[in-house]
Chain A
């Protein structure tokens, strides 16, 4: 992983506004700076170039592009951010695809927390 060890700027990518709002609250209270929110894959790919976040919290299931594909495309760009996939499903629902994705890790949505993020990013 090429991202800094303790990133502070975060882009939240999820198509559910209630969940995005909750995550923003959680992260900001933990000292992160939420630099952007995207509701689909295309907007996320556009924002990641414009706002250059250090970390992207990326929902696996997006309405347009598959989250794992979005992660692959983000990771191919210059100075790619650290990416953590999130989902309301469990990791086993995605089988090998998660293991092969170019991401720092996977956190079930209900267990997302600053400590879970920092544990994954070291």
Chain B
């Protein structure tokens, strides 16, 4: 991939070069007019002459606008060559035998050259070996035919017969070879024209939307011309006897019309790149109205006519983020995408787009980039903020995860340490109690009290450990852990929690939401029953705790719920509560999965 810089458009080129281009306009238009007016000398109709002049001018305009629009130079040269071949052909019916001889021998080169242009547009390269073979064969075949004409035909005045009728054929001793060569060339022309149609349609079918828009007029006219050449050639070959006189002239006149169509289509295609700038004006208006943050990509894609366009912002050291702040990479050199840096600064945004948008020097991309500069800056700042926000979210989730891990460790330490020593002590107290006789002066009673105290301490320790992190949640998951919560709850709890495990953070967050909600029900709700449900969708786990209590709970007043809302948000979810007075309370947490 080549990263182009689009803020140095054609204005940076030497002025003298641009002026020399302009000088070609009057020259080309004059030549076109002269060649067209040649028809007047041949007593052609006014319509024919106008058509000829229009073909010439269309070709001149297409070549010079293509040059100005910085289309590949090959395209300009091929259009120029077609223009030259057309001028030569226009003298094929000259009243001067020598001129007629040279012009009619050379005529017809514009067809293989048009084939070249159609297959090479808009890149200037034929692309596939098949296309090269088709165009190459057509050109060589035509050149061979021209060579044969020069070798086998001579103008009348070369034989000193200036007053002879102007029919060259009469002076050729044997036309058999020329006729055979002509038949062979016509067959080659039909095959070549048919292949041009097939390749054009195939390429059009595979092209990206921007490339299609660019190719469309040329492809339509090109297919019509190439198909016309093939069909008319075959028609004359098969029904030659029927296509005599006016009918034959009418059919044959279709080809010049189709050539006019191709010349005009090339002009239209070249001009369309200029017309596309109208979309830049629309873009300016749209930007002035204001584009929502994150919406600039769509607006630029619309202006460029490239729905796949992407904006990447540099974050330094060759790293990029997209408009959502997600890490992104520039397309590799082998990819079918082009990237244009919208500014000379290394940190300027990069537009990744269809390479067809670069073919006329990337002016549209540059214009869009210039108009959208301010909005792009805003979007870049927004993307940076979003990237930072993503990092903050990730960091908050990591902190939560670390906190949960610490809770699990503390619970395990309590279980493995103090709890084990205390239960061993309890057993020894029982043993001491069993070993003591009944008349020991109050020792038995003392041991019983100590055992009871120890039992109480152990109970409190268990509650503490459970509150820090329930071991059942770690070992068996949300369903069993919520089941254990429900068993201890003072209000009947109906549980609908699907079996299965979730990631630790989701399980812990869901559990603590349910535990806090059940605690609040027990303390404040005066409920007779509670339902706890968890619904798993593809994207999230929705936990709902509903009671039939007095309602009227205020989330702002409960520090427990407020803390939980923070915890749920850190896990990437949302926590909501509805508590209409007299109609119970519903706590709902939506937690993202995966």
Contacts and interface: CB of A to CB of B under 8 A. Distances in A.
B217 interface: no
A89 B487 contact: no
Query: By DSSP majority rule, is chain B's interface helix, strand, loop, or mixed?
Result: helix
A15 B420 CA distance: 10
Contacts of B427: 19, 22-23, 26, 109-110, 112-113
Given A88-B420, A90-B462, A95 B476 contact: yes
A93 B484 CA distance: 6
A19 B419 CA distance: 10
Interface stretch (B30-38, B171-179, B332-340, B466-474): B466-474
Contact of B423 (A19, A93, A94): A19
Given A90-B462, A93-B484, A95-B484, A22 B470 contact: no
Contact of B424 (A22, A66, A97): A22
A18 interface: yes
Contacts of A113: 427, 430, 434
A92 B423 contact: no
A96 B462 CA distance: 19
B470 A18 contact: no
A96 B465 CA distance: 20
A8 interface: no
Nearest to B419: A88
Contact of B487 (A29, A66, A88, A92): A92
Interface string B415-434: 11001111110111011001
B454 A110 contact: yes
Q: Which of B421, B423, B426, B487 has the most CB of A within 10 A?
A: B423
B426 A93 contact: no
Given A19-B420, A61-B415, A110 B426 contact: yes
Contacts of B420: 16, 18-19, 88, 109
B488 interface: yes
B484 A94 contact: yes
Contacts of A49: none
A69 to B, nearest CB: 11
B566 interface: no
B246 interface: no
A89 B471 contact: yes
Contacts of B428: 22
Contact of A110 (B416, B431, B455, B472): B455
Contact of B488 (A26, A61, A66, A92): A92
A25 interface: yes
B475 interface: yes
Contacts of B431: 25-26, 29
B481 interface: yes
A19 B424 contact: yes
Nearest to A113: B430
Nearest to B480: A95
B471 A93 contact: yes
Nearest to B430: A113
A111 B431 CA distance: 11
Contact of A93 (B422, B430, B466): B466
A16 B484 CA distance: 26
A97 B546 CA distance: 26
Contacts of B458: 88, 110
A113 B476 CA distance: 29
Interface of B: 415-416, 419-424, 426-428, 430-431, 434, 454-455, 458, 462, 465-466, 470-472, 475-476, 480-481, 483-484, 487-488
Given A16-B424, A88-B415, 18 more contacts: A18-B421, A19-B420, A19-B423, A25-B431, A61-B471, A61-B475, A88-B458, A89-B415, A89-B462, A89-B466, A93-B470, A93-B484, A94-B472, A95-B483, A96-B480, A109-B427, A110-B455, A111-B426
4 A-B pairs closest in CB distance: A110-B426, A109-B423, A95-B480, A95-B483
Interface of A: 15-16, 18-19, 22-23, 25-26, 29, 61, 66, 88-90, 92-97, 108-113
10 contacts: A19-B423, A26-B431, A88-B458, A89-B465, A93-B471, A96-B480, A109-B420, A109-B427, A110-B454, A110-B458
